[in-house]
Amino acid sequence: MSLNIQSSVRDALQNGFEEALSLQGEGVDPLLRKSQNPEHGDYQSNGAMGLGKKHGMNPRELAEKVIGLVDLSAIAHPLEVAGPGFINIKLKDETILEMVREMDADSGLGIAQSEDAHPVAIDLCGVNVAKQLHVGHLRSTIIGDALARMFERVGRKVYRENHLGDWGLPIAMVLERLIASGVDLDSLSLDALNDAYRDAQLGARMDSRGLQRAKERDAGPHRIIELETQNESASEAQQSAKDLLIALQQGDAKLVGEWEKLIECTMRSVFESLGLLNVKIGPEHNRGESFYREHLGGIVDEFVSGGLAVEDGGALVVRFDNRDRPMLIRKSDGGFLYATTDLAAIKFRTQTLGADQLIYVVDARQRDHFKDLFDAAALIGWDKTPDGAEVDMVHIPFGSVLGDDKKPLKTRSGSNVTLSSLLNEAIERGVAEVLKRSSDENAPTHGMDEASLHTIGRQIGIGAIKYADLSNDLVRDYVFDMDRMVAFEGNTGPYIQYAGARIRSLISKCEDDWSGAEFILGEPEERALIMQLLQYNAVFQGMLNSLEPHRLCTWLYDLTEAFNAFYQACPVLKVEDKEVKLSRVKLAHLTKRVIEDGLDVLGIESPEHM
């Protein structure tokens, strides 16, 4: 088992260090790492420097002593000490071949499965009813779905939680406005809905605070009167929206039916975009604010009776020891806030679903909110599942998508860029590239029917966008540059997809049966490719641990480069020696499996021809 070879090397070194320092059973860390430079071997142990210093021993001497005590002769070449005390380990070819055979024989490609039977709950997408999806939703959706796939890949049960903004005063305001204007809710477009939402928001913004500020600044009497008039009509609309919300909360059948139409209208458009994006999110993942509406009073009561919430200026707040900022869980008018709903969701996810890992894929501006939320949940004891497991709550604070002016992405007219327009452009660009290529007589896509070419173009265009999003450190803002994304050169999705398509083509041209072939370590490029493949599990587990998909992206890119270097240097079908030929086909095939598996975890499709 490939896993075990690395860990047995580690264990052997640990024992060596413990014996050399007379620290048996102390669990010292030999700091075993993959070597960066092939000249230093395959692995290196960096433990001697720190441990030598700590225990008053010359690091080089300690390293020498350790390699005298460790016997890895069955799997590695003799160990060597270098520099200030690095221990270099070079595996024997037979060991590497054994590892790659194990990986190839495993339908899971050596990815270790999780032993945690608790589910993971991932808060993603974050759609608001009556609002168009925009680029912010793109990130939450893409990243959340990729994280979900990661956990599913290691056997975890995942709840994708689409926490819809489908309840409360904003929705009531939209509904009030639509009903007042007499629109037919059955033939509503999302655009019309979005406009109504915006108008409702604008109307409500003219609140008493604006008026107060105008008075403070000694605005002219005309201005004051103007504001007072607006304020009056705004609060009238506000009042009727509040009345409507109360009726809705009481289950008024007609209103509930109309409310459902708003949701249906929104989600129809949302799922259209999500379908293009190739994410596994459907109606079954809807669990919005309305789901928790009956829980909120009880949540607040729990905090009050636990002595964790106190009244302050009529509102109920939760205070924390280490900061001034409190968290409001009930307004002075008795209404609940989004923090209340989020607390209800935490309780549901940990206590009812039994999840021991909560992940929120929400933009970075809400950092403080989630810090408060998680701390409050811990105060009341929802940081443990009913069976006593510790709950890990993590906010993935992704950065903003910027335009080329380095400000949040907007259209030229200043409105938000809708997700569907952005996806359509990516698909158009992908299709254009595919058509351009297929017009070449020598291209494998030449002569394919239009529908197939369109499908490939979509897979490439969408893959380009998703890869561009996932391949950077998530916390950083990034500039959305369609030109660079579809350039298809360098560290991009299509570059990796292309390698997969080439391998598929190569394998399909091999007429011999290579299934029983043996791997061979011949050229340096073959060895380098195999060593890269063998890192798959370690990289995957690292990604799972850090929740950083870009680590997998970087590694897949390196793998693709290693394959291209191999492909350039090592003839596969043209090589004379039959054994070598079949081994190379087999190696190409394993590479293809890993590329497709890795892309699938990222939610990116692998076109068969490009």
Partner RNA sequence: GCUCCGGUAGCUCAGUUGGAUAGAGCAACGGUCUUCUAAACCGUAGGUCGCAGGUUCGAGUCUUGCCCGGAGCGCCA
Nearer to RNA, 51 or 417 (CB): 51
Q: Is 189 an interacting residue with respect to RNA (CB under 7 A)?
A: no
CA distances from 347 to 357, 386, 550 (A): 12, 11, 31
Nearer to RNA, 385 or 514 (CB): 514
Rounded Cα–Cα distance for residues 164 and 167 (Å): 8
Q: Is 609 an interacting residue with respect to RNA (CB under 7 A)?
A: yes
Nearer to RNA, 351 or 366 (CB): 366
Nearer to RNA, 361 or 385 (CB): 361
Of residues 294 through 333, those in contact with RNA by CB under 7 A are 312-315, 317, 324-326, 328, 331-333
Q: Which of 1, 506, 521, 528 binds RNA (CB under 7 A)?
A: 506
Of residues 163 through 182, those in contact with RNA by CB under 7 A are 165, 168-170
Are residues 446 and 438 in contact, defined by beta-carbon separation less than 8 angstroms?
A: yes
Phi and psi at 363, nearest 5°, equal -65, 160
Beta bridge partners of 397: 362
Q: Taking the mean position of all CA atoms in its chain, how far away is CA 13?
A: 36
Q: Which of 6, 14, 128, 286 binds RNA (CB under 7 A)?
A: 128
Of residues 98 through 117, those in contact with RNA by CB under 7 A are none
**Token pair belonging to 543:** 């990604």
Q: Is 488 an interacting residue with respect to RNA (CB under 7 A)?
A: yes
Dihedral over Cα of 506, 511, 513, 517: its sign: negative
Q: How far is the CB of 388 from RNA (least distance, A)?
A: 26
Strands 43-45 and 327-330, how do they pair?
A: unpaired
Q: Which of 101, 205, 213, 509 binds RNA (CB under 7 A)?
A: 509
Are residues 461 and 483 in contact, defined by beta-carbon separation less than 8 angstroms?
A: no
Of residues 380 through 399, those in contact with RNA by CB under 7 A are 399
Nearer to RNA, 271 or 338 (CB): 338
Q: Which of 2, 6, 88, 162 binds RNA (CB under 7 A)?
A: 88
Are residues 525 and 494 in contact, defined by beta-carbon separation less than 8 angstroms?
A: no
Q: Is 119 an interacting residue with respect to RNA (CB under 7 A)?
A: no
The three-point CA angle 117-2-86 to 5° equals 110
Of the listed pieces 272-280, 296-304, 379-387, 560-568, which binds RNA according to CB under 7 A? 560-568
Rounded Cα–Cα distance for residues 295 and 144 (Å): 26
Q: Which of 443, 482, 521, 528 binds RNA (CB under 7 A)?
A: 443
Q: How far is the CB of 291 from RNA (least distance, A)?
A: 13
Q: Is 501 an interacting residue with respect to RNA (CB under 7 A)?
A: yes
Nearer to RNA, 493 or 603 (CB): 493
Helix (H) or strand (E) holding 54: helix 47-54
Rounded Cα–Cα distance for residues 595 and 556 (Å): 7
Of the listed pieces 46-54, 108-116, 139-147, 254-262, which binds RNA according to CB under 7 A? 46-54
Q: What is the DSSP letter of 349?
A: I
Q: Is 561 an interacting residue with respect to RNA (CB under 7 A)?
A: yes
Which candidate, 607, 604, 597, places its Cα nearest to that of 153? 597
Binding mask 235-274 for RNA (x = CB under 7 A): ----------------------------------------
Q: Is 589 an interacting residue with respect to RNA (CB under 7 A)?
A: no
Q: Is 86 an interacting residue with respect to RNA (CB under 7 A)?
A: yes
Of residues 327 through 366, those in contact with RNA by CB under 7 A are 328, 331-333, 335, 337-338, 364-366
Of the listed pieces 20-28, 180-188, 236-244, 557-565, which binds RNA according to CB under 7 A? 557-565
Q: Is 429 an interacting residue with respect to RNA (CB under 7 A)?
A: no
Number of residues written out for the chain: 610
Which candidate, 28, 22, 286, places its Cα nearest to that of 166? 286
Rounded Cα–Cα distance for residues 54 and 420 (Å): 59
Rg, the chain, Cα only: 30
